[in-house]
Amino acid sequence: MSAIAGLERLADWAGRTETAQDVVGASPVAILAALLDRDDAPPAPGDPLPPLAHWLYFLPVHRQSELGGDGHPRRGGFLPPVPLPRRMWAGSRIEFLRPIRVGEPVRRVSRIAAVTVKEGRSGPLVFVTVRHEVSGPGGLALTDEHDIVYRGAGGPAVAASVAAPTGEAWSREIHPDPVLLFRYSAATCNGHRIHYDQPYATAVEGYPGLVVHGPLVATLLVDLLRRNRPGVELASFSFRALRPLFDSAPFSVCGLPDEPARSARLWARDAEGAITMDATAAWRP
């Protein structure tokens, strides 16, 4: 049996659902603002969540004995038991339908939308798409389609570089030191060791340093938009992670608005000039 054929049974996980409840506390919003080095007013009941702050809620609370060697929960519960060791948040497509406000009870329904197996240059790849629907007292507030990719330990840990766009109107340089990565891991209850355990990241997973979280880079891109267009109300945001970033060098978040379309292209560029994340944001009038 080929490696691909052995993985195709994972498609049976499509359609599985999971429901979680939470209350939108103020502390995670304040923690995120501090992490992003923003000088925001303290969040108060009724304030709308900043975009992408929904990732700070519905956090995993698995017991220590339920974690795998990489720091993630062992696979085979809600997510399929993919036997490939490397895991990456490959992208998301988010629609913002109505505000989520501090103090509100919220509910998230998650569904495995698809499980796809492909053959890559370094071996088999498994793509899992999870659709999250978050609702508050006023009904459905946002949808978030989240793509996860799994791959084997063989082959290079970093994809080939592609030159990033130039001519940005907005940019900000980010210095991703271990403290920043630790603080984001703590804020999102992310135990994945590639973000804080350098011996594990380099010796076991083959990376040149600690890996910057994909959702942190996406949050920094949206924060760049918020700094340059204060008060915008996002309607949608999507991103694709193309190449990892590490704590060993600074990177830049960049943006180029299309004002008539009320949208912007956003991207991250590493110290070598390669694009590492490509994103699009659109906002309401």
What are the sequence ranges of the domains in the chain? 3-283
DSSP string, the chain: --HHHHHGGGGGGTT-EEEEEEE--SHHHHHHHHHTT--PPPP-TTPBPPTTGGGGSS-----GGGB-TTSSBPSSSSS-----SEEEEEEEEEEE-S--BTT-EEEEEEEEEEEEEEEETTEEEEEEEEEEEEEETTEEEEEEEEEEEEE-S-S-SSPPP-BPP---SEEEEE---HHHHHHHHHHTT---GGGT-HHIIIIIS--SSPBPPHHHHHHHHHHHHHHHSTT--EEEEEEEE-S--BTTS-EEEEEEEETTTTEEEEEEE-TTSBEEEEEEEEE--
Q: pTM for this structure?
A: 0.93
pLDDT of residue 5: 58
pLDDT of residue 78: 83
pLDDT of residue 76: 65
pLDDT of residue 1: 42
Which of 232, 233, 231, 285 is closest to 261 using CA atoms? 285
Per-residue confidence of the chain (285 residues) as pLDDT tens digits? 455 656 778 888 899 999 999 999 999 999 999 999 999 999 999 999 999 999 999 998 888 888 888 887 776 678 888 888 888 899 999 999 999 999 999 999 999 999 998 887 777 889 999 999 999 999 999 999 999 998 887 666 667 789 999 999 999 999 999 999 999 999 999 999 999 999 999 998 888 999 999 999 999 999 999 999 999 999 999 999 999 999 999 999 999 999 999 999 999 999 999 999 999 999 999
Token pair listed for 72: 């993630």
pLDDT of residue 68: 81
Which of 285, 158, 167 is closest to 234 using CA atoms? 285
Does the domain at 3-283 match CATH 3.10.129.10? Answer given as yes
pLDDT of residue 13: 87
